[in-house]
Structure 1
């Protein structure tokens, strides 16, 4: 029987990929588009800590390239599956959340997402909206931005505000 020398690296890389996906999903980091210093340090330390878990004793160039290739392939497959199958998308991706609808704030969602009054007001001011009653729709998008649609018929516009907050959780890809 022919032994495939990189099978162990492939298995380890797949296991680490799924562990990290689940861990990031559980810890709920929604703002990967806005990493702060602590987030960058965390990512660097995690990548360093899981490197040996993926390649094991094989620290050769080819071992590292096989691990990287496996990660790219898994990521490609996951993206295809999330586009094709709603159940996979529901498991792996967050949903946009309504924060304000027709001037009424959803305090339950705001509390759950740890979005402050000041943060909402900053997003509104950034886009020329003064009062909550002037907001037709405000959504926290899956990439961590707050989209705002003005209720003013003359000035109907959609804007995006990048969140800059200290979310306690850690996230998803």
Structure 2
């Protein structure tokens, strides 16, 4: 019976586990929000490996080599509480939502690439072409607007057939920004 009691005996004070969990949670939240790029709705092998390694490293950082289930429950409860609190706050307060979720980024407008946005998001034109093909779009000229959403998916709004036909009869626009 003492072995079962040892399983639930706390090795660290509750506040210790809450502080560890809080610090690691906020560190990872900031890293994922501001440092890592959003990919176009996919996760590659390197991305998956990174997530696994982050999980293992953060687990070791939070655990402090404890062996008690109680300590693990306190740590998990801390992480769940932060996750719930941030979801609740983003739902009720727009500034929190804007801080936690990146705004959608326009990658194509009226058939023209937004190269600055592509560079900022580190998306190649080949990657973008591949994602457009998955949505039945063969050429950039067919796209009215393509946006990289905050969750990494690509939203594509095609031009109407009449818009595509009129584009072929007009001279190409220059890439200068509109006059203000």
1:140 lines up with 2:148 in the alignment: yes
Would the alpha carbon gap of residues 26 and 124 (structure 1) be closer, same or farther in structure 2, given more than 3 Å must change? Answer: closer
- Other-structure match for 1:53: 61
Superposition deviation, residue 87 in structure 1: 1.5
Q: Which has the larger radius of gyration?
A: 2
Q: Distance in 1 between matches of 2:61 and 2:28?
A: 12
Would the alpha carbon gap of residues 105 and 77 (structure 1) be closer, same or farther in structure 2, given more than 3 Å must change? Answer: same
- Name whichever structure is richer in helix by fraction: 2
**Structure 1 residue runs without a partner (length 5+):** 155-173
**1:97-125 deviations in Å (ceiling 9; x for gaps):** 01111222211111211222222222232
Q: Distance in 2 between matches of 1:31 and 1:109?
A: 13
Q: Which runs of 4+ in 1 moved over 4 A?
A: none
SS in 1 for 2:145: strand
Q: Distance in 1 between matches of 2:140 and 2:65?
A: 58
**Structure 2 residue runs without a partner (length 5+):** 1-11, 163-180
TM-score by length of 1: 0.77
Q: Distance in 1 between matches of 2:80 and 2:39?
A: 22
1:15 lines up with 2:23 in the alignment: yes
Matches within 5 A, 1:1-173: 5-31=13-39, 34-56=42-64, 58-152=66-160
- Other-structure match for 1:171: none
- Name whichever structure is richer in strand by fraction: 1
TM-score by length of 2: 0.74
Higher relative contact order (CA 8 A, sep 6+): 1
Superposition deviation, residue 80 in structure 1: 0.9
The number of aligned residues is: 151
Which sits farther off after the overlay, 44-53 or 88-97? 44-53
User: What CA RMSD, in Å, does the superposition of the two structures yield over aligned residues?
Assistant: 2.2
Would the alpha carbon gap of residues 149 and 34 (structure 1) be closer, same or farther in structure 2, given more than 3 Å must change? Answer: same
SS in 2 for 1:128: coil
Asked if 1 retains the 8 angstrom alpha-carbon contact of 2:109 and 2:143, the reply is yes
Q: Distance in 1 between matches of 2:136 and 2:122?
A: 23
**1:64-97 deviations in Å (ceiling 9; x for gaps):** 1110111011100011111211221222211110
